[in-house]
Amino acid sequence: MNSCNYSIYKVVVTPLQTNCYILKSKTTKNALVIDPGGDAAKIKEKLYKIGASPKVILLTHGHFDHILATDDIRTKLTEVGIHALDENMLYEKDFFSTMMEGDPRPLLKAEHVFRKEKNYKIDEFEFTLLHTPGHTKGSVCYIFEDCIFTGDTLFKNSMGTTVFGGDDTELNNSLKRLYFYPGDYAILPGHEGVTTLSEAKRNNPFLRKFAL
């Protein structure tokens, strides 16, 4: 996959088949990693193969299958970002800890704790943060040029669950915001396959309902 300034690679990790994305700069060897949820060796192998060094790690939310390889792949030069409302998940074990053998938390602190929706630039990587609570309080989408990384807010033909600490009303409002977000983008979710915003509006029942 390609975006204007980055080449995008997907590494599927953890037994829950989480999509970890690597955005490699087309002008340097720097990379941004989104949701390193596990299988650190697998992520490192991909970084090595493409000749990239992780300068930024962005977390769409704090569930274990999106964060637990963060410390394993970060270096002294890597900066990590997460929304303030999910920051505690870097340090606190939770219900999901029973689903794995060992839990590396507490993880190191994030260098960037996001509180505002705005455009950000970390190292050479520029993106817009959209706060999309519902799956978790601090769930966000990261918007890069022509693609949106939606985490567990929006999938190709479905949406994230609200079973574990989520909120149905908040998630519905977040999906509505995505439906009415201007323009068309590739949608790169936290699980399952990729789609586009226009396709999701037509085919995903959880977005399509807003056209009624």
- pTM for this prediction: 0.95
CA distance 122 to 187: 22
CA dihedral 197, 200, 201, 202 (to 10 degrees): 130
- For residue 104, the model assigns a pLDDT of 85
CA distance 103 to 130: 29
Give the list of residues 6+ apart from residue 50 with CB closer than 8 angstroms, or none.
Answer: 7, 9, 22, 24, 31
Confidence check: pLDDT of 88 > 80: yes
CA distance 148 to 171: 17
Confidence check: pLDDT of 96 > 70: no
Give the residue among 111, 125, 181, 122 at the shortest CA–CA distance from 153. Answer: 181
Which domains are assigned to the chain?
6-211 (3.60.15.10)
- For residue 100, the model assigns a pLDDT of 66
Taking only the tens place, the pLDDT of each residue in 101-156 is 778 889 999 999 999 999 999 999 999 999 999 999 999 999 999 999 999 999 99
pLDDT band of 5, cuts 50, 70, 90:
confident
pLDDT band of 206, cuts 50, 70, 90:
very high
Work out the average pLDDT over 25-50.
Answer: 96
Give the residue among 41, 99, 39 at the shortest CA–CA distance from 66. Answer: 39
CA dihedral 59, 60, 66, 69 (to 10 degrees): -10
Contact yes or no for 105/72 (Cβ under 8 A): no
For the chain, what is the mean pLDDT?
A: 94
Between residues 211 and 206, the one the model is more confident about: 206
- For residue 1, the model assigns a pLDDT of 65
- For residue 211, the model assigns a pLDDT of 87
Give the residue among 58, 33, 17, 34 at the shortest CA–CA distance from 191. Answer: 17
Work out the average pLDDT over 65-83.
Answer: 96
